[in-house]
Amino acid sequence: MLKTLLKTENLTIIAIFLGIAFGYYFSNLAIDLKIIGDVYIALLKMLILPLIFASIFIAIVGLGSIEDLKDLGIKAFAYYITTTSLAVGLGLIVVNIFNPGADMQMPLPTDSHITPKELNAHDFILSFIPSNIFHSLSEGQILPVIFFVIFFAVAALNLQEKKRETLYNFFDSINDAMMVMAKWIIALTPIGVFSLIAFTVGKNGLKPLIELYSYALTVLVALFIHATVTLNIIAFTIGKFNPFSYFAKIKEALLIALSTASSSATLPVSIEVAETKGGVDKKVAGFVLPLGATVNMDGTALYESIAVLFIANISGVDLSFSQQLIIFLTATFASIGAAGIPGAGLVMMTIILDSVGLPVEYISLIIAVDRFLDMFRTSINVWGDLIGAKLLNRFIK
Binding residues for ligand ASP, rule: CB under 6 A, are 261-263, 297, 300, 338, 340-345, 374, 377-378, 381
Q: Which is nearer to ligand ASP, 11 or 250 (CB)?
A: 250
Distance of alpha carbon 276 from alpha carbon 280, whole angstroms: 8
CA 299 to CA 296: how far, in whole Å? 9
Residue 300 CB, nearest approach to ligand ASP (Å): 3
For helices 34-63 and 142-157, give the axis angle rounded to 10 degrees. Answer: 20
The one-letter amino acid at 292: G
- Phi, psi for 119 (deg, rounded to 5): -110, 100
Residue burial 377-390, b: 16+ Cβ < 10 Å; e: rest: bbbbbbbbbbbbbb
Contact criterion met (CB below 8 Å) for 23 and 199:
yes
**Residue closest to ligand ASP, measured at CB:** 345
CB of 345 within 8 A of CB of 304?
A: yes
Q: Which is nearer to ligand ASP, 92 or 267 (CB)?
A: 267
Query: Please, what is the minimum distance in Å from the beta carbon of residue 169 to ligand ASP?
Result: 33
- When the beta carbons of 137 and 261 are compared against ligand ASP, the nearer one is 261
Tell the smallest beta-carbon distance from residue 366 to ligand ASP (Å): 12
CB 90 within 8 A of CB 332: no
C-beta of 72 vs 267, nearer to ligand ASP: 267
Measured from the CB atom, the residue of 243 and 342 that comes closer to ligand ASP is 342
Query: Least distance in Å: CB of 335 to ligand ASP?
Result: 7
8 Å CB contact between 289 and 79 = no
What's the min distance (Å) between Cβ of 197 and ligand ASP?
A: 15
For residue 126, the minimal CB distance to ligand ASP (Å) is 23
- Toward ligand ASP, which CB reaches closer, 37 or 62? 37
